[in-house]
Amino acid sequence: MKVYHENRMKSGKLSIARNLKRVTLILIIIGIVLTIFTMMSLEIKSSIPIEESRTLTLAYAQNISDLAIKQNPVYIGNKVILGYNITMIPLAWVNISTQGILAPNLLYNETVISSPFYFLSILKELKIFVSTSKPFEYSVYLIEPNLFSKLLFSNISTSPITLNMTYLNEYSSNLSRQLDIPLLTISINFTVPEGNLTFYPSIVLNLNGNVLVPKVLNNTIYKKVKIPIIGYEVNNLNVPVQLVQLVDVRLFTDPTNWKQVNYTVYLNSSIFSLIALEGNLSSPSNPISLNLTKLYSYYASVEQDMGFEPSVPAILIKYSMTNGNTTFYPYVTVTVNNNFVVENISNNTINKIVYFTVKSKDFNYLPFLVLVGGLSAFGLYLFFGTEVKKVDVRLESFRKFTRKYNKVVVFVKDLPEDNGNNVIQVKESRELVKIASISGVPILVNDTKMKAAVVIQNQIYAYSF
């Protein structure tokens, strides 16, 4: 196809199509309006204070794990005193012994013997020796344990004292027959001063059939001595529970200046719960010492009394402490898991959500002003600095026709000559297309004159663009 050239008016302005210029100016105006609207909306929004929130921690607690364990070669820590064993050490004593005066008999060659027992039928008198040189008091009783005690006589004497066993046996027999009870026990109680001490021993004459067996009681003064039980203190829980003597439960808290720090120790299971300990502390950092063995034994005894199967309870230590208007209720659970002590703390944080308003940053107009200025400048340039491209209507119509019907169009240098009688001018170019289609002949086109024609024999159908 031939390339067409058209003459343009010489001008310094950029020539663009009318529709393109119109659409571009409309888009620029819309962009300026939207930019101004967005700027005003953001300016209003930026002037409104923003409400924000923050979580404040008013109180926090964390348990500190300490164990007091038995001495062992594996788990070693600082030595501590786990408790005390109370041992009775003899401080002083008084010796009491007996000697029997016998009637003549076939068993013994002597009539005076010292023996751990005596046959009542041949015993006439009983001498009692007390290892003191000072006078002492003594009292003779007939007793029936858990029923009565009858004083026969009392006296002050020095060692030895002599008891008439014939009289005592006869009196005891008569009283036993009268009360219809077995023979009574004879007890001699002493008050023996020795130095700065006073002893209160006794000798009991028990009857075993016809045999009298003296038994000395309370002839020694003992001193109670506390012997410390030494163990180790460790700061972790990775110790078998068999070695654990005490579990010290204490808390690290923030803040630290708590008032009225109270605690309650519960023993819990799926069956029931009971209170084992209660108390108060000057600070939650002070330890609460738990003897696991005693607590478990106590719980087992209650279970046994109630007819339940024995179980191992969880130990729950509930705290209550105040600081101003804040009341804090953390609690620690002590359990045994896989043969090791486990401590867990719960409810150990008090949080408060605080709401406040924040002033927005000053609104930045510069980007919007730059954008509006740029769009405005471009619109002004487009409006005043450009011109609408002039279009030759005939040429455009001619080009459109030849492009559309290029399959039936034949370009020629000259059209058939017009002799005036054989030429018919059609009203529209598409009429030529109809005639060409019906007759099956091509459309002849002269691009110089922008004319088209259909020739049928000597008849010419023509159209000038």
What pLDDT does 438 receive? 85
432 against 4, higher pLDDT: 432
> Which stretches of 249-365 are DSSP H helices?
292-306
What pLDDT does 375 receive? 74
pLDDT digits (tens, 9 = 90+) for 156-195: 999 999 999 999 999 988 998 998 888 889 999 999 998 8
Confidence at 80, pLDDT banded by 50, 70, 90: confident
What pLDDT does 251 receive? 93
pLDDT digits (tens, 9 = 90+) for 324-378: 888 999 999 999 888 888 899 999 998 888 776 766 666 676 776 777 777 777 7
Rounded CA separation 378/372 (Å): 10
Tokens 């491209």 map to which residue?
Answer: 389
Rounded CA separation 166/122 (Å): 9
The CB density around residue 68, as the number of other CB atoms within 10 Å, is 24
For 96-100, 154-158, 443-447, which range has the lowest pLDDT when averaged over its residues? 443-447
> Which stretches of 47-164 are DSSP H helices?
none
- Distance of CA 161 to CAs 8, 125, 165, Å? 164, 10, 12
For 62-76, 161-175, 201-215, 327-341, which range has the lowest pLDDT when averaged over its residues? 62-76
Q: Which long-range contacts (CB under 8 A, 24 or more apart) does 157-160 make?
A: 158/133, 158/134, 159/128, 159/129, 159/130, 159/131, 159/132, 159/133, 160/99, 160/127, 160/128, 160/129, 160/130
Confidence at 388, pLDDT banded by 50, 70, 90: low
What pLDDT does 356 receive? 66
Q: What is the mean pLDDT of residues 379-400?
A: 71
Does position 154 have pLDDT exceeding 90, yes or no? yes
Does position 5 have pLDDT exceeding 50, yes or no? no
What pLDDT does 114 receive? 94
For 40-54, 278-292, 320-334, 393-407, which range has the lowest pLDDT when averaged over its residues? 40-54
- Distance of CA 224 to CAs 88, 193, 197, Å? 5, 21, 16
443 against 96, higher pLDDT: 96
Quote the mean pLDDT of the chain.
85
Rounded CA separation 190/161 (Å): 11
Q: Could you give the 3-state DSSP secondary structure of residue 383?
A: helix
401 against 23, higher pLDDT: 401
